[in-house]
Each structure stands twice: as C-alpha cells, then as structure tokens.
Structure 1
C-alpha cells in the first residue's frame, strides 16, 4: 500500500478517536459502570494510547513526506539515515513537500514536553491547595474515631463529607452530617470515603487531571476527564454497599442531596477529593435500578475497534523506530 495513504489513514484514525471519543464513552457507560475499576484503567489506557498514536502519526508522516531540511548538514544526514533505517515501508517512495521531515517529529515531541510541563505545574498547584486546606482544618477540626474510622469533624450545619487524600487528615465530616444521618447511613458514607483513601483515588485524579487539563479542547480527553471521577465514585459506592447495604447508602444520598451543590462548591474551592458528588435522586436511581449493560455494548465495541486500530499502527511505528535505535542506526550513520 502507498506509504502516504497509510500515513493519512493513521492521521484520520487519530482524529476520529479524538472526535468520536466523547459520544462513544457516553454510549458505553452502561457497560463501564458495571466494572468501575476496569473502566478507569481502560479510559486511562485509551488516553495514553491516543497520545502514543499522535507521536506515531508524526513518524508515519516523516517517513512518507520530505522537504527542505533546516538542520546542519552533519545532523541532517544522521537524522535522514535514522528515518530510512526505521522506515517499515518499501524504500524509494517519499513525497516532496514544503515541510521538513524533522517538523513531523519535533512538533509531536515538543507538544508532549509542553503537556508534561503543564501537567506537572497543575499537580503542584493542586498539592499546594490541598496543603492549605489541611492547614485551615488544623484550628477548627477535631479528631474522632467513628465506626472504626479516624475522622476529622468540622463545625458546619450542611451534611457533607470528603476525603482529603492525606494520611494526617483523611476523612473529613461535618457536624451537620453527624446530626442528619443514622448510624447505618453514616457507616455507608464513611465506607465510601475510606474506599477513596484506600484505593488512592486522589492520585488517579492527579494523574488523569495532569494529562487532560491541557487537552480539554480534545473531545476524547475531555470525556475521559469527566468520566474517570464518576467511575471512581461508583467504585467507592460499591465498597459502601458491601459495608452498609444499598438502602443505607441510598438514604444517605437523598439526605445529602439538598447540600450537594454546597459540597461541590466547597470541594472545588479546596481542591479536595469530591465524594458523593452527585447526591440525590439521580444517584439513587443508578444504585437501585442501573441501566441494562447490553445498551452500552455497541459503544464499547466501537471504542474497542478504534483503539485496536491505534494499537496496531502505533506498535508498527514505535516498534520500527525502537528496533532501528537498538540496532544502532545512529552509530551506523
């Protein structure tokens, strides 16, 4: 097959995944919600795979297109021989363009470095916000053991709870929550929060957020950023149901539903792990009458098919480049 055609198909696959990712993730929700931990792994892997595919698309274009080379002659010769050594296509077919081959390699690499830098900055900012939150709780919160959990209790009439993701403070509850819930409902809420801490959900959110933050304009990245927190909540819900039962958790959600907007605003301001985010009737409906997973099979299969294409093409591109480096193409040049 024509190498340029293959390169264009690779670019098309990358763009298709970026655009169709959001509706397909939504369509696959009835399946994903049954396996929330697996859903988080799959969504995170899909994001990493898409980024690898962007780099692979640059390799494909560099193999099939050529143009004026702005690099010094000695460096340009080495780069050209490396490209030729790693090219999995038949030799001798390169289309001349006004864009240097190096641009197709340097642009994705530069974008990747920028993404890492922006992601690290976002993580640092969230950590600083979390530290400030912990320090603000020091003078107003007091420690108690409730149902086997060491929690920080703060004075607030709104029934609210969240997990800070730090060993010193961990689960934080308000006096309004303690007054509003009965022992079994409180057990469900605390089990939910404990699951967030035990499964390190704050670290998952940091990792996903650091990557998707600069890519919010990409529909696939935006959909993953929105979906992962939801599935982490579902995973914590499952732990709470095993501990206290569905009825107790649903009842707690209904009670907390009236304060959900207050909780959401407070948790956004503090940067804390959001817990029981969608409290209220919709969350309860999901608990007691989840949607049939067969309704999400088509979306899951379509997403799997697109990712399979990206896996195949990315493995071809990166495998060929890695093989050339291992075989010493630079030294041989």
Structure 2
C-alpha cells in the first residue's frame, strides 16, 4: 500500500468523531422515525469504514512476517514506507481491533446475564404485561420471544388509569419497533470506534421520542401523554431501578423535559427541517460517503500492491 493509501485511511478513523455533535442536532430537528433511521445507518456505516481501515492498516506491516508473505506468495513485503513504521502501525491497528473485540465480548456477556436475570423475574407471567410487586416505581420494555412490558406495583400506584395506558403504549412501541435491536447496532458501532459512543444518547432520545409519538397517537391526547411521561419520570427518581437491564428502554429515562416539550409542541413530522438540520444531515451523509470512498480506494491500492508483489514472485 502506498503512503497516500495509508494517509487516506486516516479519514475513516477521524470522521466518526463528528457523528456525535451532528446527531445531537438531528434528533431535535427531525421526526423521530427519520432521526432513528439516519442515526443507526450512519453509525453502522462509519463503524464499518473505521474497522475496514484498521484491518487494511494491519496488512502492510504483517507482510514483513515470513509466514504471512509465504501465505500471500509474496517475494518482498508490500511497499509502505519505512519497514519499522509499517510494523508499528500494524501492531497499533491490530491492538485496537483486539481491544474493541474484547470489550464487545465482555459487554455482550454482561447484557446476556442481565437479560437472563430480568426474564427470570418475569417468568411467572404468561401475558405481555408483567407486574412486579416492588415499591420503587419503574417500567421498561424487556426484549425476547415473546417481549414483555415490565412494570412495578409502585409505578402503577403513581399513575392514574389513563396515564397507565400511555405508559403501556409507550413500552409496547419499543417492543413492536424492535428498538432493542437498533440499540444493539449502535452499541456494536461504539465498540468499533470510540467516537461513535457519542451517538448512544441521541439514539436513545430519538427512540424514546418515537415511542412517545406512538403513545400519543394510540391514546389520542398529546397533553395526557406528556403528563404521563413527566409523572412517571418524577416517580422513578425516588429510588434506583434495581432490576432493569442496562440496555432496556424505559419511558422514564433520558431528557424527559425535552420530550415533554416536544409532545406539547407541533408534531415534528409536520415541521419543515430548517437549514441547520439540513446541513447536519448533509454533513453526516458526506462523512459516510468519504469514509466508504477512502476505504474502497485504499483496498484497491492494497490489492494492486499485492498483485505487484506476486508478479515479482513469478519473475523470480
């Protein structure tokens, strides 16, 4: 790989750091459903680009190892500047890939353990709704087959009958939309690149907003929905969520005042996105295009370098 190709791979590694600030603009301007699709797709694309860039950076230095050169039928290592620098870059890139994979496995094990514990608490119920006899107010969507809505007796007592309907509709939206899968995609992206960790909170906000809008449509009253979300959040603050898994989506989490204000305002889908929102969306799409283009170009340069080294082998 040429030195230019190596420099091009810096773009997929740097661009994800722009995703967080841009996504925070988008989630407050776009309709929740559109924001969710754009955030998840962008995070996945940028993560793929950064992972591909690290993998491509591993190859030139690795060809200095005789087993790797023999495996690729290479007479000489790929040309990539100083051999020492190439090996150092390979070690750093491989270490970053290994660290990301180890953290992902650790967190995935933790999520699986939390899911098993939560589903064990809900195992006694055969219906969609699981009521836990616990004083602290809490409610959340528990993914699985089937998905469950878990609510404590403390939360039921904190809300009126109409507000309970709002809360159940909200959590039902998380289950029907399979929002836990979207959270998992962005969590995976965040393990691929640290810059994408800043997308986690905007995505959760957008998912809660999408569930808020679903609940408001289901009950036909935006003010009632806003009041129910606000009261549930205030009640849940009185004590910690002892059994809720960390990945579970819940109506009483996130920036509740912003969500309440959005419910009381004009629905986002009826508003025309402003210039700031359009600029943010274009910036995010441009980051995706540049990241993908740089990765493909670097891969093409690497392939050409390998063919050249293999041609030298044939001449020998």
The TM-score, its normalising length taken from structure 1, stands at 0.73
- Report the equivalent of 2:7: 8
- Report the equivalent of 1:184: 162
Asked if the contact 2:134/2:153 (under 8 Å) is kept, the reply is yes
RMSD between aligned residues: 3.8
Asked if the contact 1:116/1:211 (under 8 Å) is kept, the reply is no
SS in 2 for 1:287: helix
Q: Distance in 2 between matches of 1:258 and 1:204?
A: 27
Q: Check 1:302–1:206 CA distance in 2 against 1; reply closer, same or farther (3 A cut).
A: closer
How big is the shift at 1:193? 0.9
Residue 220 (structure 2) pairs with residue 222 (structure 1): no
Residue 299 (structure 2) pairs with residue 318 (structure 1): yes
- Report the equivalent of 1:126: 111
Residue 82 (structure 2) pairs with residue 97 (structure 1): yes
Q: Distance in 2 between matches of 1:25 and 1:110?
A: 29
Q: Give 1:160-175 correspondences, 5 Å limit.
A: 160-167=138-145, 170-175=148-153
Gaps (5+ residues) in structure 2? Answer: none
Gaps (5+ residues) in structure 1? Answer: 84-93, 145-149
Asked if the contact 1:67/1:99 (under 8 Å) is kept, the reply is no
How big is the shift at 1:126? 1.0
SS in 1 for 2:144: coil
Q: Check 1:179–1:67 CA distance in 2 against 1; reply closer, same or farther (3 A cut).
A: closer
Match of 2:210 among 210, 223, 235: 235
Q: Distance in 1 between matches of 2:86 and 2:80?
A: 10
Residue 26 (structure 2) pairs with residue 28 (structure 1): yes
Using the TM superposition, name which of 103-112 and 21-30 deviates more: 103-112
Q: Distance in 2 between matches of 1:299 and 1:252?
A: 32
Q: Distance in 1 between matches of 2:163 and 2:182?
A: 27
Render the CA deviation track for 1:235-265: whole Å, top value 9, x for unaligned: 22222122113222111012113124357x4
- Report the equivalent of 1:91: none
Match of 2:257 among 273, 281, 302: 281
How big is the shift at 1:127? 1.0
How big is the shift at 1:319? 4.9
Q: Distance in 2 between matches of 1:112 and 1:237?
A: 38
- Report the equivalent of 1:88: none
How big is the shift at 1:43? 3.3
Residue 24 (structure 2) pairs with residue 44 (structure 1): no
Q: Distance in 2 between matches of 1:56 and 1:317?
A: 11
Q: Distance in 1 between matches of 2:25 and 2:51?
A: 24
Q: Distance in 2 between matches of 1:142 and 1:308?
A: 48
- Report the equivalent of 2:180: 202
How big is the shift at 1:322? 6.8
Match of 1:78 among 66, 73, 76: 73
Asked if the contact 1:162/1:275 (under 8 Å) is kept, the reply is yes
How big is the shift at 1:131? 1.1
How big is the shift at 1:112? 2.7
Q: Check 1:311–1:112 CA distance in 2 against 1; reply closer, same or farther (3 A cut).
A: same
How big is the shift at 1:325? 8.8
SS in 1 for 2:130: strand
Q: Distance in 1 between matches of 2:47 and 2:68?
A: 35
SS in 2 for 1:162: strand
Asked if the contact 2:62/2:68 (under 8 Å) is kept, the reply is no
Asked if the contact 1:153/1:172 (under 8 Å) is kept, the reply is yes
Asked if the contact 1:82/1:324 (under 8 Å) is kept, the reply is no
Asked if the contact 1:31/1:297 (under 8 Å) is kept, the reply is no
Asked if the contact 1:164/1:171 (under 8 Å) is kept, the reply is yes
Count matched residues.
303
Asked if the contact 1:67/1:96 (under 8 Å) is kept, the reply is no
